[in-house]
Structure 1
Amino acid sequence: MDRPATERKQLDSAELGVMAHLYRGEVYRSTIWRTRLDTTTNWSVVTLGVALSITYSSPQASPLPLVLVGILIIFFLMLEARRYRYFNVWRARCRWIELHFVAPLLRDGDLHLDQHWQDRLADDYLHPRYHVSMWTAVGRRIRRNYFWILLIQTAAYMGKLMVHPTSVSSVGELLERAAIGPIPGWFVLLAGGSYCLSWGLIAIASARIDANRARKRQDPLGMG
């Protein structure tokens, strides 16, 4: 249902002051959650570094830590995606205020309240919600950071199997080294390949969803 085009009074100095403080608050919250995103990525890098140190400490060291660290990386990725969804709420509000409040105020001094951009912002405060899905957030974090973490993990694991304790001489020997207890090596490598492929597919699907949203978006750099 279209909102009636009613006249809206211009903001007075007190209301402009409230908007300024509101913008400062949203920038602060956006900054805090952006810092939390960096923290989660740092955790992933540190745990992978520890696993690399243990695995390559000696030729006889097991490659198992590089497999187990993958579980932690998944946990950190999901946690970071959740934090990204929160961050995106504050980022979108900041960008919306910049686009419709700060920029018009600096350009011509007219806030164009007749366009009812403030109604959309008010609705977001009255009915807060995430602007992106969990899987979209996961895909974005993989594309930004975790692709390289997963690539290093995979390359380090395969390198360990191929060079320690001696250079691998056959596929059978590679499968034997990849075995974990009663779990055959072919199954371990198949699971690892599926692990990497699944995150890659999520990243590609997320990129296509983002591209479609960008083409359909009516407001440039708008909410969400």
Structure 2
Amino acid sequence: MKYFPPEYLPGHNSRENRFHCPHCQTFALQRWYNPVKDWIREGVKACRISTCDCCSKDSIWMDGKLIYPQVKLSPPPNPDLPESCRADYEEARSIVTLSPKGSGALLRLCVQKLMMHLGQKGKNINDDISNLVKDGLPVAIQQALDLCRVVGNNAVHPGEIVLDEEPEIVNSMFELINFIVDNRITQPKRISDMYANLPSGARAAIDKRDTK
């Protein structure tokens, strides 16, 4: 299921106002209210509280930002993300709201390390993508990798994309990395496991067919 991070939407107590609760992690309706009515000071949007319809726990928002509980708002890593990449991914999750640029740089490093698990050198992401394309990489995966590469490069070497002003771009990188891992690691592993469970006679017949 797609991850919907907590979002500041006071005054929208409708079915559309749902996200993954920072307490129970359930995708649920959030009900908003102002704990101190008419308490709006200059420079302060307001203090608002959202209450989860599932666990009934409150989350506190100030100036449009979630201040309690302190949580990682980006999706967790795909379980099949290699261990060598996991620490960078988790650190990027922990700082994305404080430093989108720093988070983007860590995710770029994560992708660079991931390339080695996809049979590449992991030294130049652009060259690695080119080699994978020559080997028949699906267009969607190529585009996902290039998106991560370009955004990550802007985090390390500032260019046309100002990540601190567009944090949602960095948030999309987490989903892209999980998409890449699912396609290149999770799905092949799942099919391999299913194939291994075929009767030995059936697998022997397939091997014989393919060696003709």
Q: TM class by shorter-chain length?
A: under 0.3
For normalisation by structure 2, the TM-score amounts to 0.24
More strand by share: 2
Report which of the two structures shows the higher radius of gyration computed on alpha carbons: 1
